[in-house]
Each structure stands twice: as C-alpha cells, then as structure tokens.
Chain A
Amino acid sequence: MWLFLGKRLFAIVPILLGLSILVFAMMALIPGDPATAILGSYATPENVARLNEQLGLDRPLPQQYLIWAGNLLQGDLGRSYALNRPVAHEVFERFGATLILAGSALLLCAFFGLLAGVVAAVRQFRWTDRIVTLVVLVGISTPSFWLGLLMIMLFAVHLQWLPASGMYAAYGGGDLPDLLRHLAMPAVTLAVVATGVIARLTRTAMLEVLRQDYIRTARAKGVPERRVIYRHAFKAALVTVIPVLGIQAGFVIGGAVYIETVFQWPGIGRMLVNAISTRDLLLVQGGVLVVAVSYVLFNLAADILQALLDPRLR
C-alpha cells in the first residue's frame, strides 16, 4: 500500500514539470504581453520596452523559465504583474474559495447522486425510477451558468432570500452562516450536472449487482432486504462509482469557472481566466500548478478508497 502511494505521488513530478513547460510555452506563443495589457492605450513601443525591463521580461525565454523554476524550488511562486502581489497569496486564497465551493458541490452530488441511483435501481421501471431518471436527465442537460442565472432571478431578485453574488456580505458578516447563505446557490448549481452523472452510473451499477448470484443467495438465506441492499449490493456498486467520483471532482473544479463568474465567487477558475487575458504569466503558472496537483490528488484519493473497498485491487 505505501509503495503504491509513494509511486503514485512520485509520478506527479514529471507531470508537473511537463505541464509548467507547456504553460510557459503557450503563454509565450499567444500574442500580446503583460506590458501591453497594463499600459492599454499608452502602450507605445518605448513605454512597453521600459516596463518589460522593469518586469524582467526582456530576458530570453529559457532564462525566464529557469529563474521561475529556481524560485519555485525555494517555495517562491513569484509576483503577479497585474495584481502587484505575491502569486502564492493570490493562488492559495482563491484556491481555498474554490475548494469550499467544489467541495460542498461534491458532497451534495455524491450524496444525492448515490441516493437517486440506488432508489431508481431498487424501484426499477416503477414511477419512482421514471421520475428520478427524468429529473436526472433534465439536470444533466441544463447548462449550469443558465441555471445559475435563473436561480439568481428567483431567489435573489424576486424572493430576496439569498444574496445574489459573492462569498461574504459586503459589510459586516464574515461568519459561517453568512458563508453558507452565499454558498447555497452556487454549490447547488455546480452539483446539478455531476449529480445526474453519478445517479445514472449508480443505477446501472446497482442493477448489475442486484442480478448477481450472491444477492439471490443472501435473500434465500433470509437476510432482511434493507441489509441486502446496503451491506451487500451498495458496497459492491460503490467500487464502480468511486473512480467516477474522482473524475467528477476534476469536472467540478473545471466547471466552477462558469459558476464562479455567474456568482462572483472569488475562486481560482475566474482568477485563471483573468490572468490569461492580462498575460499574467506567473499567476497562470502558479494557478495551473495548484489545480493540477489537486486533480492528481483527488484521483489518487479515489484510487485509495477503491482499493480499500475492493481487496482484489490491492
């Protein structure tokens, strides 16, 4: 087990190395530079050259990369040109916000997805199954940013129950209930699609398991139905569902970009979009790095969980 863990963790290093070179090269290839972005209308060649020199962007690209990589090894992610603050501060603050949003969305979608899937499978072809399947289908097909706007119109503008955007109240606030009120709409919106995916998958996996011989044996032995479904069938079905949860975690973090924009959630997705349009190279590098590490870790966690549930995989 520890060997497996160590190997998987070590495999992250070449991935990150390749990724950072790729991001660096892509940012160099797209036209425009940070100095032009900062100066806007006043970007004369003279002003651009002077600002590039002050920002250290007049050096050759490989040298810039090596400086960045060297600083990274000392734990320094550099300073954002556009925000004029250390990249590490910005990236970790924003990633924290994304984790809160994506984490609650993931909890919601895991719980409701599994629940709906099990209910639908147990009641296959009955009206409960039909309703669950229909709701799930609608959920999967709804563009999340549109759903977000609809929710804002209903809950914030018309009913005025929930704040329309942001993470905390504009003045005062800042406590947990304040955070939960702001979190409710974006987390639910973000969870809707993933819930559908998980529900469908769970339903299929459960149906598969329920047809197995050992389930019939369990029933024949007189094991109560509740116990058959929870202890025998559900646990076996989870083995199939858990790696998908890992992948969904990646999707949820990716999909958070839209939701973060609609609800003005101060997360890392929105930060990356802004950083790319202002050509803020170091901020893009730092952001991508953190997202990539988290993606790998999520999948690793899913693998470990799966191995714990299914001895054959150990």
Chain B
Amino acid sequence: MLQPLPPAMGRLATALGLALVFLMVPPTPSEARTPPNVLVVAQIAEPKSLDPQTVTAVNDFRILMNLYDGLVRYRPGSLEVEPALAESWEISDDGTEYTFHLREGITFHDGTPFDADAVVFTFDRMLDEEHPYHDTGPFPLSFFFGSVVNVEALDPNTVRFTLAEPYAPFLSNLAYPTGLIVSPAAVREHGKEFGRNPSGTGAFQFGEWRANERVVVERNPDYWEGAPPLEAVVFRPITDANTRVAEMLSGGIDLMVEVPPDALGRFSGSPDYSVHEQVGPHVWFLILNMKEGPTSDQRVRQAINYAIDKQALVENVLQGTAEVAAGPVAPAFSWAYNEDLEPYPYDPELARDLIKEAGYEGASLTFYVTEGGSGMLDPIAMGTAIQADLEAVGLEVEIETYEWNTFLGKVNPGLEGKADMAEMAWMTNDPDTLPFLTLRTGAFPAEGGFNSGYYSNPEVDRLLEQARRSTDRDERARLYYEMQEIVHEDAPWAFVANWKQNAVTSERVEGFGLEPSFFLLLDDVAKP
C-alpha cells in the first residue's frame, strides 16, 4: 500500500535543511583570522593554577613566565642565569649566604610596590608552615628551596637568603617558576583563589580566565623593561593534538607548541608558517635493574646500549623531533655537558658477542612501557622498536604496558622483583637534579630517591655531592664531565634520546623563538 507524503512535511523538511545551511554560512569571510596585536596560543591542557608556587607542569609555566618575574632568569637561548628583579647579588665565601640587591621603582600589577618584603613573603608563604598564608598551598615543588633556612629583608631593596649548606643549583632554582615573586597584597586579598587572580611584575598582566576556554593576559604598560609589542595573549587549552593542528591550519591560532611529529611536514614546507625547534633539558632513557638478572652484568647493559638503533628511533619513530642521547646530562646544559662523550654506536654484532660472553643468550627480560606521560614522547612505539632491536641480538623481551600514573607507582618504588628495564624521561632546570635524584646510592627508592635500578658507584656519589656544594661553575663543570664519563661506561641506563621541543607560528608572528628552558617568553613577540 502506497501512501502519499503530506506536502506540508516535505516543505518543512526543505525549510529546515535550508536553515541548517544558513547556520553554517559565515557572517564575515575573515571569521577564522585572529585579530592583530593579539596572539592566540594553543596550550596542551587547561592550566591548573596561575599561582607559580603551586604548579608543576610546563603547560602552566608557559603562562606564568609572562605574568611574573623572578629575582633571576635564564639568559635568552641558554640555561645560565642573569639578573631580573635582582640587579646584582653576592655569595658568601662558604656558599651559604646569598644577598640580592633589588631593582627599584617596580610595582606589581595590582599597584603595590615590589620590595624586599614581597620577596620574603613569597618564600615564607611556601616554606614556613606557620606562615598565615601557608594554607594557600600545597606547594609541591617547595623542596627546590629545602636548603633555605632564612629569608630576611636587610632594607627595602636588599634581601638575604641563608642556606643550611652550600647548594649550587640554588640560583637556577630561583630562575624556575617556583621562584617567581608574587604580590603579597593580592595573596592576602584572594587567599586560596589567588591562583585565579594572579598578580606579578611581568610583561603581561592577568585579564580573564574562562575555565576550559581561555586565559587572557594583557600588555603591562609599566613593565620595567618596556611595554611588550603585543596588546594581549590568549592561551587556549586544546588537548587533542589533531584539533590543535586543524586550528593552526584554519587560522584559529597563531602559535602552537608540541606539534605532533606526523604534522610537522604540513607546516615545514609552507611559506604561511614557521617551524621552530630547540633542544631542551630532557633525557629519555631506559632504567636497567642492576640488582638482579641479566642487567646486573655490565656487559649486558652495554650490549643493550649497542643493540638499540637510536638513530632509527629518532628519525623514524620520532621523525626527527629528538636527537640521540650520549649520557645522563642533557646537551642543553651546555656548560656542564661533556662534548667528548659519544653515544654508544649501533653495533648489533658487538652486542650479540657481549651477551654471549656474559652467558645470557636467550635470556628473557621484563620491560615496563608506559602509554604516555610527561616528556615520554611516543613510548609505546619506542618500546616496541627497542624490543625488536634487543630480540635481534638474542634477548627475549616481554613488554608490560601501564597507564602513566600506574606506571610511576610501579617504577618509582624500584624495579626489584618486578622488571629488568623501564622507560623513563626527565626534564630539569639544573644539571644537578637528574643525576642527583636518580644515580646516587643515597637516592635508592628506600632512601626516598628515584634510583629505581639501584646504580651505586662511590666515585659518582662523591662527584655529585662535591658538585652540588661548589659555587664555582668551572669546578662544577669539571666534576660533571668526570661523572658523565663514569656513568657512560657503567651504563646503568640505556641512553636513548634528547627531545627537541617544537612550535609552529603563523607568518604574521614576528620575533618568536623557543627557549632551552621550555618556557614560552612572549615579551618581544609582535603580530602586526
């Protein structure tokens, strides 16, 4: 039986279809273009807070570094410190007293003056549990300043830090976001909500934060180094990498960081975009279990280093977004990095011989791999490639894959009785941090460190302790050089890659460059 379609229904369908089409027609043709002098930046996640002492993620640091200043900062293009809010400083001969002379005439965005009291307030709030505003925390990275016993204002423009013992990374920790100076008046006014109502001395001042949509910061016309060219910067959280790429291609954003390797090719050949690359203080490595099993034998550990085709990994799996690592110190720490150290060459023959010599041919290894995590690059693909390389030289490798937080919960307490190898990556702000927390006998998991593979060499312990206490940079460099040679030979890790961070900007953006610190500094960027 055939039924005639009521004509009204057909007309209605047409009308609705047309309405839908009109909804999609743009009101103006330049819809997608971002306004001049406003830079739209794609972030990889929603920021947690804009209170510099309470956050731990690079994603948050990228905003914070534009809102606040520290007493010192990294010199552009390097990881060495230079004066910022402090014009100069003196270090006592025993290395335990740092006296800073502050720049005068600077005000916070809320109009209150920057002075020695603000510095004391910033550090006391974080370090002193009795401080009235300590409850605005928690302050997860306060241990960076764990050696500080007292912060004292000598006069309105002079402040002195007293340390319990000499601690060489102190200055570079001050340049880190955890050391940025906050406005005491704003903390007093907003309490726990200061992180959403930030006030610093930076080139940009806080505009608005619409949760999960955008954070807007606006030009600080009174910036002590001169007002920045940009009127405003908009940080948009776009967690999905494909969507970030689509936004860049459609003109909805001007700058994106952490471009997926697959997408780089779309931008690198085009005159409409600039691709920026910069090696950062990052090391990607395998922790090898030295307490038991095949990896307790130095020959097997070296064999693993020889067997992994690192060049193929960085070129094929990571598509050129990383470089081959030679040792435990990232090359970005140029003054501390031992240039003479060559990466273990790819030599499967030698690896096979070493394994045979050690009597571990056909031995089976358990390998912890993570699905993804901070700085882990492409961990599953990398883990699988490494598995294939090791099987080619006669080792059976069984991969166990875990979600990032589960993975950390398994690896951090130590690999004993569980696994022979585990992936790991670190990004740090001082060459001291990574080896000190992961390669000393005193950093075994039971002692509260991250030496999950139980590497222990008294000589390395001595060198690291000594380097941490020395305030003379050349002497520190010499000690780190020596440490790197020993660690390279002992091979407690398989050294794999140093990540090159990347970013893409549209052709309208001028004066942008990436920093080795992984921070995003926008005070000299323009977009006419």
- Residues of chain A touching chain B, judged by Cβ–Cβ distance below 8 Å, are 30-33, 36-47, 51, 54-55, 82-85, 89-90, 93-94, 97, 111-112, 115, 118-119, 122-124, 126, 128, 149, 152-153, 155-157, 160-168, 170-172, 177, 180-181, 184, 188, 210, 225-226, 229-230, 261-264, 266, 270-271, 274, 277-279
Contact = CB atoms under 8 A, between A and B. Distances in A.
Given A156-B32, A161-B24, A163-B32, A277 B405 contact: yes
Contact of B140 (A39, A89, A93, A97): A39
Given A45-B448, A84-B51, A94-B212, 19 more contacts: A31-B410, A36-B409, A40-B374, A82-B48, A84-B49, A93-B211, A93-B212, A111-B16, A123-B5, A152-B243, A160-B32, A161-B26, A163-B31, A163-B250, A165-B246, A225-B3, A264-B237, A266-B213, A277-B405
B264 to A, nearest CB: 17
Contacts of B404: 277
A83 B48 contact: yes
A46 B40 CA distance: 40
A165 B140 contact: no
A277 B246 contact: no
Interface residues of B, number: 81
B417 interface: no
21 contacts: A36-B408, A37-B405, A40-B57, A45-B448, A84-B48, A85-B195, A115-B13, A152-B243, A156-B247, A156-B252, A157-B250, A160-B251, A163-B250, A165-B247, A170-B34, A171-B40, A225-B3, A226-B8, A230-B6, A264-B238, A266-B212
A165 B238 contact: yes
Contacts of A33: 405, 409
A164 B250 contact: yes
Contacts of A90: 211
Nearest to B247: A164
B138 interface: yes
B430 to A, nearest CB: 13
B172 to A, nearest CB: 16
A274 B48 CA distance: 12
The list of the 10 closest CB pairs from A to B, nearest first, reads A32-B405, A266-B212, A54-B138, A31-B406, A226-B6, A156-B250, A122-B3, A46-B448, A164-B246, A84-B49
B457 interface: no
Interface in B35-50: 35, 38, 40, 45-46, 48-49
Interface of B: 1-6, 8-9, 12-13, 16, 20, 23-27, 31-32, 34-35, 38, 40, 45-46, 48-49, 51, 54, 56-57, 137-138, 140-141, 143, 192-193, 195-196, 210-214, 216, 232, 234, 236-240, 242-243, 246-247, 249-253, 373-375, 403-406, 408-410, 412-413, 426-427, 437, 445, 448-450
A94 B212 CA distance: 8
A144 B395 CA distance: 43
B57 to A, nearest CB: 8
A123 B205 CA distance: 64
Given A163-B32, A164-B246, A47 B140 contact: yes
Contacts of B5: 119, 122-123, 128
B196 A85 contact: yes
Contacts of B6: 122, 225-226, 229-230
A169 B2 CA distance: 50
Contacts of B51: 84
A44 B216 contact: no
Q: Looking at chain B's contact residues, is the secondary structure mostly helix, strand, loop, or mixed? A: loop
Contact of A171 (B32, B234, B237): B234
Nearest to A34: B405
Contacts of B210: 168
A274 B246 CA distance: 22
Contacts of B234: 170-171
B26 A43 contact: no
Contact of A264 (B196, B243, B426): B243
B141 A42 contact: yes
B26 A149 contact: no
A13 B211 CA distance: 31
Contacts of B45: 274
Contacts of B373: 40
A270 B239 contact: yes
A197 B427 CA distance: 49
Most buried by B among A118, A157, A177, A274: A157
Nearest to A174: B210
Nearest to B408: A36
B228 to A, nearest CB: 16
Given A84-B195, A266-B212, A160 B239 contact: no
Nearest to A50: B138
A263 B252 CA distance: 13
B113 to A, nearest CB: 28
Nearest to B57: A40
A277 B192 CA distance: 24
Nearest to B25: A161
B37 to A, nearest CB: 10
Nearest to A55: B138
A55 B139 CA distance: 11
Given A42-B140, A55-B138, A171 B243 contact: no
B211 A264 contact: no
Nearest to B232: A171
B4 A42 contact: no
Contacts of A166: 213, 236, 238, 252
A235 to B, nearest CB: 15
Contacts of B27: 177, 181
Contacts of A41: 374-375, 426-427, 450
A279 B9 contact: no
Contacts of B253: 170
A104 to B, nearest CB: 11
Contact of B403 (A44, A188, A277): A277
A85 B45 CA distance: 16
A147 to B, nearest CB: 14
A163 B48 contact: no
Contacts of A229: 3, 6
